[in-house]
Amino acid sequence: MKGIVFTEFLEMVESKFGLETLDNIIENGQLPSEGIYTSVGTYDFNEMVTLITNLSEETNIPVGDLIYAFGLYLFAGLANSHPEVIKNYNTPLGLLYCIEDHIHVHVKKLYPDAELPSFKVLDKTDTSISMVYSSSRGLYRLAHGLIEKAFEHFGGTATITYDLLKEDGTEVKFDIVQNG
Ligand code: MNH
């Protein structure tokens, strides 16, 4: 997993839960990188799982809810670090439609060792889109947060529902309907 995901995660922890919580989740000897990440580095996904599990224990907030909150936080971090990746889109549905074939293709050029999920579009109208998320990492709650913020980025909102096609969350269908 790319370092930018780790640096954004630790930034979120500090801003939402404070420095003491941040210290507590990294300073227990379980992390190979000892909580030190650079945005261009690549780290074991298990290290992120450890950080999120520790944060869940520390805050008593379920892991899934923390991942969703992180998705909400991460969108702006990605957009600010790589404005060129999203500058050509003028609607959230247009952006979502292009995640697989443009956005993540661009990301792969920036970070050749990025491990990205796939998003297959099942259906798109002027006001809605249905797509299937798949990834061995099962970070569909992260996708949920990112999708929600994509709408806010353009000044809108959407109603987002999802169905687990696989129980472990590695394949999830999203139905997204623009509000207003
Ligand atoms: Mn994208 C990882 C979804 C927009 C750059 N992205 C992920 C993951 C999800 C995801 C989910 C977590 C990995 C996984 O599930 O296997 N991304 C989205 C969605 C949107 C999106 C739903 C739009 C909405 N992503 C973007 C944009 C950028 C970007 C915009 C860059 C400007 N994404 C990344 C990077 C990673 C990532 C970088 C980390 C990959 C890695 O850790 O190897």
- Alpha-carbon distance of 151 to 158, in angstroms, equals 7
* Residue 116 CA to ligand 1 centre (angstroms): 6
98 and 145 inside one domain: yes
CA–CA separation, 63 and 51 (whole Å):
10
pLDDT at 28: 76
Report pLDDT for 40.
Answer: 84
Name the residue type at position 169: G
Q: How many CB atoms lie within 10 A of CB 61?
A: 14
Please give the structure tokens belonging to residue 147: 């999708």
Closest Cα to atom 1, ligand 1: which residue? 104
Examine the domain organization and report whether 10 and 55 are in the same domain. Answer: yes
pLDDT per residue, tens digit, the chain (180 aa), is 999 999 999 999 999 999 999 999 998 778 999 999 998 899 999 999 999 999 999 999 999 999 999 999 999 999 999 999 999 999 999 999 999 999 999 999 999 999 999 999 999 999 999 999 999 999 999 999 999 999 999 999 999 999 999 999 999 999 999 998
**Which residue do the tokens 């379920």 mark?**
62
The token pair at 45 is 């996904």
CA of 147 to the centre of ligand 1 (A): 10
Does residue 145 lie in a domain region? yes
Structure tokens at 47: 């290290």
The per-residue pLDDT for range 20-56, each reduced to its tens digit, is 999 999 987 789 999 999 988 999 999 999 999 999 9
Q: Which domain holds residue 16?
A: 3-61
Count of structural domains, the chain: 2
Return the CATH number at 125.
3.90.1520.10
**Which residue is closest in CA terms to ligand 1's atom 37?**
116
| pLDDT the model gives residue 99 | 97
Assess if residue 68 is contained within a domain: no
ipTM of the complex: 0.96
Same domain, 55 and 99: no
98 CB within 6 A, ligand 1:
no
Residue nearest ligand 1's atom 28 by CA: 78
Residue type, 58: E
Quote the CA–CA distance of 138 and 91 in Å, as a whole number. 27
Q: Are residues 15 and 56 in the same domain?
A: yes
Same domain, 36 and 97: no
Q: Are residues 106 and 168 in the same domain?
A: yes
Tens-place pLDDT, residues 5-16: 999 999 999 999
Q: Whose CA is nearest to atom 22 of ligand 1?
A: 143
Assigned domain for 79 exists? no
Is 82 domain-assigned? no
Shared domain check, 162 and 125? yes
DSSP states along 59-70: HT--HHHHHHHH
Centroid of ligand 1 to alpha carbon of 136 (angstroms): 14
